[in-house]
Amino acid sequence: MRDNGCVSETPPSSLAAAVDLARAAAVETAGDPAVVGEHLAALPESAGDPALGEALTHSFASTLPGYVGWYWAVTIARAAGEDTVTVDEVVLLPGEQALLAPAWVPWHERLRPGDLSVGDVLPATEDDPRLVPSYTVDDDAAEDPEGRVVAQEIGLGRERVLSQEGRSQALTRWNDGDFGPRSAMARQAPGPCGTCGFFLPLAGTLRAALGACANAYAPADGRVVTVDYGCGAHSQATLVPQDTTEVVTTARYDTADYDVL
């Protein structure tokens, strides 16, 4: 006998011969004789104590739509000293070539940026590496730009704040986004945001890399931008140097090619 390519031990004759009993149990469970196919194998089940009895599992091919490669497994048993064979269990199992559903992924890992809509709630998990208890933070989150310690950050306010990993992920994400240095707008800008008067730097360790745009006419108004992003609304773009060269109009110069205003 074989099951999934493995040669089984010689099964007990009375249990091995009970193919019709096993098939009937499979049909009863399936509810349709058409979905129980040919007999595939008979494999003895190892018993802890042979004196208690013996068991054997018959397998039948499954023809259920959507269950290619699956099989019905019917376990039958006979108690020690008894002649009656009974059905112990009927299950539908996947074989080696079975079509299986993808591995289950927790819902919070399936979400992608932009999936959250109005009314949705996305609670942070306890092991979120982007967050750390507020009492463990360094001065990046515990102090304001003037160096004054914020009491709320030591346990009286927010329970958790951004970790170093969380800040690093945010910097990478924003740097690669539409308001980073590699965007088409930044490549055509007259200057970077770091030199713009409308640029509001962030606090902490991200101050040297990120800030917010406060120019109502800029495409990034109200957005986080990198210091090397830029757009045509740069505060210095309107400062066009004036030509202070004086045109001397005397008899020594030919004014035929220009008009004297």
Contact at 8 Å (CB) between 8 and 1? Answer: yes
User: Which domain CATH number covers 26?
Assistant: 3.10.450
Amino acid at 249: T
61, part of any domain: yes
pLDDT at 131: 79
pLDDT at 148: 41
Report CA-CA distances (Å) from 180 to 78, 219, 227, 231, 261. Answer: 73, 13, 8, 11, 47
12, part of any domain: yes
pLDDT at 199: 92
Residues of the chain with pLDDT under 50: 1-11, 139, 141-152, 155, 239-240
239, part of any domain: no
For residue 197, what are the domain limits?
174-226
Domain count, the chain: 2
pLDDT at 118: 74
